[in-house]
């Protein structure tokens, strides 16, 4: 599918989506020109899904800002929690009394041949799920999810399951089949809400600017797109 057609199809579902690398590079320039974020006084933290499919942009951001603290994990949820965010807030370089933190994260979903949630990865014969963590929750026996015991060997996935329970319950109540697109949007809302709560708490102790950029990364065979959800600067 040509890029223009692909973009048109993505915009039908995510009207504000852009090519991920250009969107993020524009944010970097805006952060510098409007807010004085430069690599020397900024620390970059990323909370995306462990899936390497999102790495291209995260590596680009790491190269741009000079380092990367990772606070995410499965499905792009902020699994490192308050302790992780507190830790990165102590790693921020300062120049002439100015220091900045940049948080970037979000859920992700594949899109291929008009189908959401699937993507054929390089060198693989068949499409696989993206996000695999979210897809696994939707495929699981919901009764088992509701009654599952704490498993120390699967903590992140169990957290993703807990986050998805209200969405799956709503589908059951309304007689709808859960789908990955709506599940991704549900996950995105929860990432936004929890990250904002944590950052709002963090800035009471952080004497600098905090940029929060979140959104859904759309993985396609022509690269990643990004549909921004929250783009804001927080100050004490």
Beta strands in 80-208 (DSSP E): 100-105, 108-112, 115-116, 118-120, 127-129
Task: Mark 46-75 with x for binding to Zn ion (rule: CB under 5 A) and - for no binding.
Answer: ---x-x------------------------
From 12-20, 42-50, 155-163, 206-214, give the range in contact with Zn ion by CB under 5 A: 42-50
- Compute the least distance from the CB of residue 145 to Zn ion, in Å: 18
Q: Strands 209-220 and 100-105, how do they pair?
A: parallel
Q: Is residue 159 involved in binding Zn ion (CB under 5 A)?
A: no
- Compute the least distance from the CB of residue 130 to Zn ion, in Å: 6
- Compute the least distance from the CB of residue 63 to Zn ion, in Å: 22
Q: Could you tell me which residues come within 8 angstroms of residue 84 by beta carbon, excluding any fewer than 6 positions away?
A: 69, 71, 78
- Compute the least distance from the CB of residue 111 to Zn ion, in Å: 14
Q: Which is nearer to Zn ion, 51 or 161 (CB)?
A: 51
Question: Are 4 and 205 within 8 A, CB to CB?
Answer: no
> Which among 119, 68, 59 has a CA at the least distance from the CA of 91?
68
Q: Is residue 131 involved in binding Zn ion (CB under 5 A)?
A: yes
Q: Is residue 119 involved in binding Zn ion (CB under 5 A)?
A: no
- Compute the least distance from the CB of residue 191 to Zn ion, in Å: 12
Q: Strands 108-112 and 115-116, how do they pair?
A: antiparallel
Residue 22 CA neighbour count, 13 Å, CB half? 5
Residues that bind Zn ion (CB under 5 A): 49, 51, 131, 133
């Amino acid at each position: 599918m040509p890029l223009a057609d692909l973009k048109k199809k993505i915009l039908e579902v995510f009207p504000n989506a852009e090519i991920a690398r250009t969107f993020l590079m524009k944010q970097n320039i805006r952060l510098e020109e409007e807010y004085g974020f430069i690599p020397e006084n900024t620390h970059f933290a990323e909370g995306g899904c462990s899936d390497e499919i999102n790495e291209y942009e995260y590596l680009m951001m790491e190269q741009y800002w000079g380092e990367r603290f990772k606070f995410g994990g499965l499905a792009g949820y902020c699994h490192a929690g308050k302790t992780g965010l507190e830790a990165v807030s102590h790693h921020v370089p300062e120049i002439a009394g100015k220091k900045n933190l940049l948080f970037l994260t979000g859920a992700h979903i594949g899109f291929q041949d008009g189908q959401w949630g699937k993507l054929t990865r390089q060198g693989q014969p068949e499409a696989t799920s993206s996000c695999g963590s979210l897809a696994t929750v939707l495929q699981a026996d919901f009764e088992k999810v509701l009654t599952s015991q704490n498993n120390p060997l699967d903590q992140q996935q169990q957290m993703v399951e807990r986050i998805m329970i209200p969405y799956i319950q709503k589908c059951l109540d309304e007689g709808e089949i859960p789908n990955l697109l709506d599940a991704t949007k549900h996950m995105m809302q929860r990432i936004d809400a929890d990250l904002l709560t944590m950052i709002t708490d963090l800035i009471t102790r952080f004497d600098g600017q905090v940029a929060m950029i979140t959104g859904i990364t759309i993985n396609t065979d022509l690269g990643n797109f990004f549909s921004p959800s929250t783009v804001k600067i927080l100050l004490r």
